[in-house]
Chain A
């Protein structure tokens, strides 16, 4: 029986690929495990293997073909003795997309970002911008700081030779060598403690967690060693270091790999906590974090690594720690968020603009210390606030904002502050449940309408 080879998804986020090259020709004999093609995915070049013994019957997509959708028929493998003529039932149209029947609900998709151009008064006149991905912006920030300060080094699992599990440390090994770009064993508690010691001795470690879920192994050193040493030593010993990596929900990776720890870290005196959204903020804030004399938790988001934004093309571009940004101005309601939540807020604001609701969006950017001045100034103008957070509701950043608004801006509020967050459940794996668990535009819009008294619940 012949076997149809459909272009497979070769990463959790791949939707299309390029056939870099076929490594076999029509008529070649194949055995299971043979590599038949090299495919470029959104992340890397991968080898496509066959699971079947047989003969390469027909190659339907040429070398170099780009933008081939996952599920497209790309080749047919024949059983020995079979020939193409005998299999008339196969539809040889190469570009026909064969979406599997009974496909699960679409996983959370990441739509294109709404570009945020940094409006910074202190940028020189005539500043130009480079459109780069968040992934590149983070890498550039590390590379620039490593050039400026030779006490800065990066350590973590797969950061060097593999170029980073999510490719954020790409090319750093080539430029800085293995003494400054260090692959560690899988031993988060150990290497975090080691990095704290190095920081105490005056070096500036950047510790990458493959994801923040694994920083749970290292929690003691973050909370008990890094965060408290300056205080306990009466200011004698500092821990100038950055703990960074992806945080928050990824796609379809289940309960142990999809959680937002922002409020856990923001709870701890002695830590700075940063969770930016745009590429410019990722770059500018990571540079500030590395320059800082304090331990900084730097929370990235896997779902936006590949998204592009304008980043100012200026030397040593930094963004100050502890300053929120108004990323959309409006007069009817203030939406407060951080990280990927800013994207959800901006999208909701665009949608509501069509319905006559003019929302202002505040990107907190730093979660500890919180820039309540910016939040309150906005609420004084709009008199309404909705907090949006891709994370759990209890004891969340949203809870903190809500409490502070009640304490410090009660008189300006015309409606109760509403928190719109993920559902209060571990992250389910099933596509439909995952979609339900993560904060949705529907719920954000409903909340905004309700604080504006426009067709919401109240």
Chain B
């Protein structure tokens, strides 16, 4: 399999708290079952997002709709390292994170269509979805705002003396919000079990990383807060999983926080109305053809003779069926009852 060297770099943050050993870039291992599982999860995300894009085009989904296509390996690899009781949260680009948490695609898609069966009763929309049961704390529309909140989830884990961790995802654009650094400081000051994941898809809307950031090696952004940082190939689910395992272990031992920059790429526009004139078609097609996270695993499965073309087709068919069923559900679910307008504003006491 032709694979470019993974862009892995790491930084140790200096004396008092830099406890991590040097990272060795060995090829990550995975069992056959794991490989197949990652493949299915990522394919599910992709098919789901494609369907969401189509439904947006049909006017069934309104407002903004931010697709995760291209970035599937990041959340898939990280989620595989988590256990019950861990919490995660992210920005508005959140559909795949919810799928990774095991949330039923039907109620995600029904939220996107704004229907009564949606996970937020149709009142939140694509950017604002939550599931306490599955440890998913949103779905945040204000860039960067989820970072201190995720740090607070970690605070609660520590407060309760559990060994659970909080995974706080944010973008390469969000890294420039001041509250990110306020969070870094507190997270280290109080050694909170938070894993900061920068999903560096290289663009914040139409602004490339270089045009917005003085330090583009984002994994180094925690240095002056004594937070260890590492850059990982976010298109390679196995590399992601391996880094996530280490980060999770560090946090569970009470040695958090950890910062990981995931190098990734979004294939689609920022949201549905982005003409994406800020990058070339060649750039996008190069990423798609050379680094696609799903193709990488597919090739591994085929080359290793773990699955045949026919078996892969069957998987694809099964996933398409699940997504179609979710789409049916999301279109047929009724709109919320008008009385819902005035529910859930305050907790009734």
Total A-B contacts with CB atoms under 8 angstroms apart: 191
The size of the chain B interface, using a CB distance under 8 A, is 61
Q: Are B205 and A158 in contact (CB under 8 A)?
A: yes
Q: Does A421 contact B (CB under 8 A)?
A: no
Interface contact A8-B57, CB-CB below 8 Å: yes
- B3 lies within 8 A of chain A by Cβ: no
> Which of A99-107, A146-154, A224-232, A321-329 is near enough to bind chain B?
A99-107
Does B144 have its Cβ within 8 Å of any Cβ on chain A? Answer: yes
Contact indicator A100/B331 (Cβ below 8 Å): yes
Could you tell me which A residues sit within 8 Å of B by CB distance? 6-12, 14, 33, 35, 41, 43-47, 49, 51, 70-71, 99-105, 107, 157-158, 161-162, 165, 183-187, 189-190, 213-214, 216-217, 250-257, 423, 425-426, 428-433, 436-437
Which B residues fall within an 8 A CB radius of A?
A: 50, 53-54, 56-60, 62-64, 111, 113-115, 120, 122-128, 140-144, 173-174, 176-178, 204-207, 211-213, 267-269, 272-273, 275-278, 281, 285, 288, 331-332, 335-336, 338, 340-342, 345
Give complex CA distance A190, B336 in Å. 40
Which residues of the other chain, A, contact B332 by a CB distance below 8 angstroms?
102
Bound: A391/B144 CA distance, A: 26
Interface of A is mostly: loop
Least Cβ–Cβ distance between B100 and chain A, in angstroms: 21
Determine if B142 and A186 form an interchain contact, defined as CB atoms under 8 angstroms apart.
Answer: no
Provide the bound-state CA to CA distance between A183 and B126, in Å. Answer: 27
Residue from A165, A186, A250 in contact with B144 in the complex, judged by beta carbons closer than 8 Å: A186
Cα A102 to Cα B334 with chains together (Å):
9
Are B63 and A100 interface neighbours, CB within 8 A? no
**Given the complex, which residues of B lie within 8 Å of A165, measured CB to CB?**
205
CB of A433 within 8 A of CB of B123, answer yes
Q: Are A185 and B173 in contact (CB under 8 A)?
A: yes
Distance (whole angstroms) from the CB of B314 to the closest CB of chain A: 16
Report how far A33 CA is from B207 CA in the complex, Å: 22
Instruction: For residue B95, give the distance in angstroms from its CB to the closest CB of chain A.
Output: 14
How close is A271's CB to chain B, nearest CB, in angstroms?
23
Partner of A254, one of B124, B267, B338, B342: B124
A-B contact list, 30 entries, CB within 8 Å: A8-B57, A12-B63, A12-B272, A33-B288, A44-B273, A49-B268, A70-B59, A71-B59, A99-B59, A100-B58, A100-B59, A102-B331, A103-B60, A104-B59, A104-B115, A158-B205, A161-B206, A190-B176, A213-B142, A217-B142, A254-B127, A254-B128, A256-B140, A257-B141, A425-B342, A428-B122, A429-B122, A429-B123, A430-B335, A436-B341
Query: Given the complex, which residues of B lie within 8 Å of A185, measured CB to CB?
Result: 173, 176, 204, 207, 212-213
A347 to chain B, nearest CB (A): 23
**New A-B pairs, 11, CB < 8 Å, besides A10-B273, A429-B111, A429-B114:** A8-B58, A10-B57, A44-B277, A104-B113, A184-B212, A186-B212, A256-B142, A429-B122, A430-B115, A431-B114, A433-B122
Least distance between B330 CB and chain A CB atoms (Å): 9
Chain B residues in 8 Å Cβ range of A184:
212
Q: How far apart are the CA atoms of A161 and B275 in the complex, in Å? A: 13
Q: Are A252 and B178 in contact (CB under 8 A)?
A: no
Task: Assess the B63–A429 pair: CB atoms within 8 A.
Answer: yes
Contact of A10 among B50, B206, B272 (CB under 8 A): B272
Residues of B with C-beta under 8 A to A49 = 268
If A70-B59, A429-B125 touch, does A253 touch B206 (CB 8 Å cutoff)? no
Query: Which residue, B115, B120, B174, B273, has most C-beta atoms of chain A within 10 A?
Result: B273
Beta-carbon nearest neighbor of B114 in chain A? A430
A14 to chain B, nearest CB (A): 8
Identity of the chain A residue whose Cβ is nearest the Cβ of B141 in the assembled complex: A256
B169 to chain A, nearest CB (A): 16
